Amino acid sequence: MKPMEISKEKAAFLGRITASVSHDIQNVLAIIKETSGLMEDFFLMQQSGGLENFDAKVGKCLQTIKKQTYRGVDLTSGLNGFAHTSDVHQISIGIFGTLNRLISIAQRLFNQKGVDVSLMECPTPCSILTDPVLFQMTVFSCIECLIDIIGAKKAVSLDIQASEHGLAIRIVCQDTPLAYDDYSPKLIQSTQWTTINGLCEQIDMSAEIISDVPGILISIK
């Protein structure tokens, strides 16, 4: 990829994730608004003649507002951290924390396709010096590739693997039992696979198709 193409792809990626999180935040605010309006109705009904189970109804509303407030804080915090990854082109990042935040704020995009994306716990702290935006774009592209090209139906999992041979990220479909000869040609022939390899080249990583289960292994050199 040329520098101009990379800049455009970065901007598109950042914009797509930001737009999705903004939509989630709007949903949070809408729920809080509706719930507070319902509480107001309950209070008016209570004042005008009493309301059965008033305390329980108001308590349920308060729990909803509290839950959505925490959700909104998580979303804005995650978005803030994500946005700052574009501040520098090369920095040391924690792999688990970075991927955990990406999956959290991008979950809506995956859920729209009916797929839950999860990250397995990593007992060993792993950090790399890289371009944080391109790193996230690479992993995000792999997840989308498994969903769009291989056809993950319910779940995709990520596993950070650390060994004496280096670091790798194993990204697999948990619900799509296909033989290697069935899914590997689809991947290799896709434009998304070309994009993934192009991104890997930019950050000194490599991508290979996993043979025992539909998935992609990103190796960090």
Q: What is the pLDDT of residues 81-99, one digit of tens each?
A: 998 888 778 899 999 999 9
d(CA 145, CA 150): 7
- What backbone torsions phi and psi does residue 219 show, to the nearest 5 degrees? -100, 135
**What are the pLDDT digits (tens) for 29-51?**
999 999 999 999 999 988 888 78
Q: Would you say residue 152 has pLDDT above 80?
A: no
- The answer regarding whether domain 91-220 maps to CATH 3.30.565.10 reads yes
Q: What is the pLDDT of residue 103?
A: 94
Determine the angle formed by the axes of helices 132-145 and 191-202, rounding to 10 degrees. Answer: 160
Is the model's pLDDT at 102 over the cut of 90?
yes
Q: Percent of the chain scored above 90 by pLDDT?
A: 68
Number of C-beta neighbours around residue 185 at 10 A:
11
Task: Give counts: helices (H), strands (E), the chain.
Answer: 6, 7
Tell me the domain boundaries of the chain.
Answer: 3-84, 91-220
Separation CA 147–CA 151 (nearest Å): 5
